[in-house]
Structure 1
């Protein structure tokens, strides 16, 4: 989950442990001041009565790590991010102190927090079906008579391969988050848990020196078969059962990730384990000379370039954040047969994406104007900068489950597009450009093709109401394709996937970002007469657009001129 998405939060649900009255009062005052709804529930209570899946919700826990784990159990299945406030004693997961609560929430609401995607595990077997974020412990059951056998034997398989027999106190299967708990005391490795999607198998008090921890992918099925009675615990007892001889349980990575909010007011991971677990490779406070300072961009040599570099970063993060709900809703479209219901999903997709982008932009550039297809134009304060946004370009494709849709975000300076970002949620492609600095796809430079023969070229057509472009160019080229997204058309021209693009007429939000990207990749962009294309905010004065790699432009213009006087076939 992208941290920028948190900027649209409009409801908080707090899970509260005893003795948290003071920070809870602080939270209530903060939500009231910011116009955000607040619901509170006690640890262990259900949130169904206060949870609304249509609200942009943030979960908060007040307590120690036990309360935090209850929060994960509650919020992760609902895809709700969680911020942990430490009102306990030795909290390792809940890292915001009560005195920093308001500052951490301010940072979160401005979209400046980060969100760690934490791997969970799932276990099923006789008497148990559970998900956890820390570990599964399978251990011997203490004998009633203290002189009886105190070890257990477990056969372990990884997928179809036999790993071996583990003899000792038992084994732990843990996530990277749980690697600093029981498994660490059993000489297991410390995993850096941020966006680390693995599982580890750690023997507990093994009776063989050569038995070592094993790290596997979350897709691996770890099958564990008991040779005698054993106790199974998930996350310290949040699920528990007693296994008998020849019981088989299966542990694998859970499909649902947990989303943990981290702010600059949290202790960083290695600071936390230094303070709380005695990590002795460093002091809790890092000397200034050990800190890595952010280096200024090489191109940031003027106020304008500083603005554009910052704008590019914000636009990329906003686009990727808006892509998350689009992917989620797009996945629902194909299963819906009622036209009205599909329309509701498309409307919701447009609304959610637009709200994320415009909120993020306003938070970072409150003085800039915003011009979006889906929302009222917001005037800036004495500025030449205007953001031009299409939160869902290719609505028809989206409504039919087609992956060819995109998010388009541009910054216009005094009427001229100077920064562009186009994001393709279904393929995770990110096209970017700043005027004068080149164009990029996923960080790699792109440029147009150099083909100069029309019969060797692939063309893309946008809106072509009477089929004029298709009929006059299909036989003259290697084909004319129509994708249904003007922003994507220009990006594919820029990256060499097509040699030319035609749009009968255009809206500013459709092409503002694509214009910057195509031009910076070397494209020639004109109207149908060959005059330079004039970008305009006036939607009543829509202009035709012809884009090419440059080498083909004269041939394209010649055929377009013929099409005006020659009837379509």
Structure 2
């Protein structure tokens, strides 16, 4: 989950430990002051009655790491991001101190926080099925008779392959988040947990010096077979059972990951393990390269021009808006939604628009905003944002992956920034006019083909099929993707040599025009005049884009045959 998405938070559900009434009331007052809904629930209480899936919800825990783990158990299955406020003593997961509560939350709703994707484990065995963010431990059950055997034997398999027999006091299967707990005390390695999706198998007090921890992929099917009675505990006993000899325990990475919110008020990871675990690679008060890096401002606070900063913000906003689009797109063909496609498409449009416009208003409150899905915002600035939160609505409604998020910035009416994000392929095209065009970090340019018989053409709306009929036989093909923004990006990247759009709205093509032109394309209207983005929602006009060398021939055919020309 992208942190910019948190800017649209409109509901907070808090899980608070006992004796935290003061911080809880501060949190409630903060939410009320900002018009954000607020509900507090007790630890272990089901939030099903108060959580509305349609609302942008933030989970907050107030307490120590135990409360935070309960919050993960509550919020992770619903995909709710979680911020931990430390009202305990030695918290490692909840890393925002109470005195920074309001400041950290202000950062969250400005979209300035980050969201870590944390791997969880899923455990299934006799009498137990549970998910945890830290670890599973399988340990020897102490015998009643002190002379009986005090070790346990566990056989381990990974994806069906026999790993071996572990003899000792037990075994831990931990996530990177759990690597600083039991597995660390058993000489397992510390894993940097941020967006680290691995599992490790750590022997506990092994009786063989050569047995070392193993790191495996989260998709690995780990099977543990007990060779004696053993106790199985998930996340320190939040779920537990006692197993008979010969019991099989199935362990793998959970499908659902936890979303942990981090702010600049959190202790950084290596500072936290230095302070709390006596990490030996640096002293608590050490000043040097690490301290210098921590003192640097975040990237979006460094000295950037308006246009460069706008490009970075637009990329973040587009990727954030793409997340709910992708989630809803995955539901579009489900049984529950087949009869309500129009509703889900409307929800997708509105969610994406809300994320983008909120981010833009937070970062550039003086700029104007012209979006397909919301009311025009007239700012006191030469800059205007042109937004299509979902270009390719028809494709989206039918489960087709060819849809995109399109964001452009105009300066005094001239397009200067273009960003187009494709959620299903994770492509992000972006450009600043006069500089270079990119897909991600890879520079893109148009082709240099000069003849139609070598060229691939893209067509938008073609009401009578004349463009297709005229050019199909002359070119290597004419394709229709159903997204004008995508058409222009594929022209820019060399995946096509020319694009024809019978009629366009400004939000359809503003970003794509910047990207295509910056990559070397020629973009005109149907008469050959340079294409101009106009703020007139009632007037649509044609667009012809090409790699340049093909443009005269394409334009001549359009003039001669009137193929698909838009009416004045």
Which residue is 1:344 aligned to?
343
Shift in Å, 1:339: 6.2
Residue 296 and residue 48 in structure 1: after superposition, are their counterparts in 2 closer, same or farther (change >3 A)? closer
Shift in Å, 1:247: 0.6
- String of CA shifts for 1:116-152, please: whole Å, max 9, x gaps: 0000000111111110000000000011122221100
Which residue is 1:429 aligned to?
427
Residue 147 and residue 111 in structure 1: after superposition, are their counterparts in 2 closer, same or farther (change >3 A)? same
Shift in Å, 1:336: 4.3
Which residue is 2:64 aligned to?
64
The SS at the match of 2:22 is: helix
1:224·1:249 contact (CA, 8 Å) conserved in 2?
yes
Residue 289 and residue 196 in structure 1: after superposition, are their counterparts in 2 closer, same or farther (change >3 A)? closer
Aligned counterpart for 2:506 among listed residues 502, 508, 524: 508
Which residue is 1:532 aligned to?
530
* Structure 2: distance between partners of 1:105 and 1:511: 36
Residue 294 and residue 561 in structure 1: after superposition, are their counterparts in 2 closer, same or farther (change >3 A)? farther
Which residue is 2:231 aligned to?
231
1:14·1:60 contact (CA, 8 Å) conserved in 2?
yes
2:134·2:175 contact (CA, 8 Å) conserved in 1?
yes
Which residue is 2:140 aligned to?
140
* Structure 2: distance between partners of 1:174 and 1:94: 19
Which residue is 1:471 aligned to?
469
Aligned counterpart for 2:406 among listed residues 382, 386, 408: 408
Shift in Å, 1:517: 0.2
- String of CA shifts for 1:86-134, please: whole Å, max 9, x gaps: 1112111001111000000000000000000000000111111110000
TM-score by length of 2: 0.97
Which residue is 1:312 aligned to?
311
* Structure 1: distance between partners of 2:90 and 2:397: 50
1:457·1:478 contact (CA, 8 Å) conserved in 2?
yes
1:411·1:418 contact (CA, 8 Å) conserved in 2?
yes
Residue 296 and residue 170 in structure 1: after superposition, are their counterparts in 2 closer, same or farther (change >3 A)? closer
2:232·2:243 contact (CA, 8 Å) conserved in 1?
yes
Shift in Å, 1:295: 9.5
Which residue is 1:556 aligned to?
554
The SS at the match of 1:313 is: helix
Residue 465 and residue 376 in structure 1: after superposition, are their counterparts in 2 closer, same or farther (change >3 A)? same
1:336·1:342 contact (CA, 8 Å) conserved in 2?
no
1:8·1:56 contact (CA, 8 Å) conserved in 2?
yes
**Matching of residues 132-281 of structure 1 within 5 Å:** 132-281=132-281
The SS at the match of 2:61 is: strand
The SS at the match of 1:30 is: helix
The SS at the match of 2:96 is: coil
Q: How many residues align?
A: 561
1:12 has 2:12 as partner: yes
2:467·2:563 contact (CA, 8 Å) conserved in 1?
no
The SS at the match of 1:529 is: coil
The SS at the match of 1:504 is: strand
* Structure 1: distance between partners of 2:560 and 2:227: 84
Which residue is 1:327 aligned to?
326
Residue 473 and residue 337 in structure 1: after superposition, are their counterparts in 2 closer, same or farther (change >3 A)? farther
| Two-structure CA RMSD over aligned residues (Å) | 1.6
Residue 446 and residue 565 in structure 1: after superposition, are their counterparts in 2 closer, same or farther (change >3 A)? closer
Aligned counterpart for 2:516 among listed residues 515, 518, 521: 518
Shift in Å, 1:464: 1.4
Residue 566 and residue 391 in structure 1: after superposition, are their counterparts in 2 closer, same or farther (change >3 A)? closer
Shift in Å, 1:453: 0.6
* Structure 1: distance between partners of 2:79 and 2:327: 11
* Structure 2: distance between partners of 1:283 and 1:347: 54
Which residue is 2:384 aligned to?
386
* Structure 1: distance between partners of 2:224 and 2:562: 74
Which residue is 2:42 aligned to?
42
1:95 has 2:95 as partner: yes
Shift in Å, 1:562: 2.3
Shift in Å, 1:198: 0.1
* Structure 1: distance between partners of 2:423 and 2:22: 42
Shift in Å, 1:368: 0.4
Aligned counterpart for 1:449 among listed residues 447, 450, 457: 447
* Structure 1: distance between partners of 2:37 and 2:10: 6
* Structure 2: distance between partners of 1:565 and 1:177: 61
Q: Report runs of 4+ in structure 1 exceeding 3 Å deviation.
A: 293-297, 336-340
* Structure 2: distance between partners of 1:294 and 1:268: 13
Residue 29 and residue 370 in structure 1: after superposition, are their counterparts in 2 closer, same or farther (change >3 A)? same
Residue 114 and residue 565 in structure 1: after superposition, are their counterparts in 2 closer, same or farther (change >3 A)? closer
Shift in Å, 1:540: 2.5
2:337·2:344 contact (CA, 8 Å) conserved in 1?
no
> 5+ unaligned residues in a row in structure 1: which ranges?
none
* Structure 1: distance between partners of 2:319 and 2:564: 45
Which residue is 1:376 aligned to?
375
1:63·1:88 contact (CA, 8 Å) conserved in 2?
yes
* Structure 1: distance between partners of 2:378 and 2:425: 34
> 5+ unaligned residues in a row in structure 2: which ranges?
none
- String of CA shifts for 1:392-431, please: whole Å, max 9, x gaps: 0000000000000000000000001100000000000000
Shift in Å, 1:81: 0.3
Shift in Å, 1:25: 1.2
Shift in Å, 1:276: 0.6
1:30 has 2:30 as partner: yes
- String of CA shifts for 1:193-241, please: whole Å, max 9, x gaps: 0000000000000001000000000000110001110000000111111
Shift in Å, 1:561: 1.6
Residue 296 and residue 37 in structure 1: after superposition, are their counterparts in 2 closer, same or farther (change >3 A)? closer
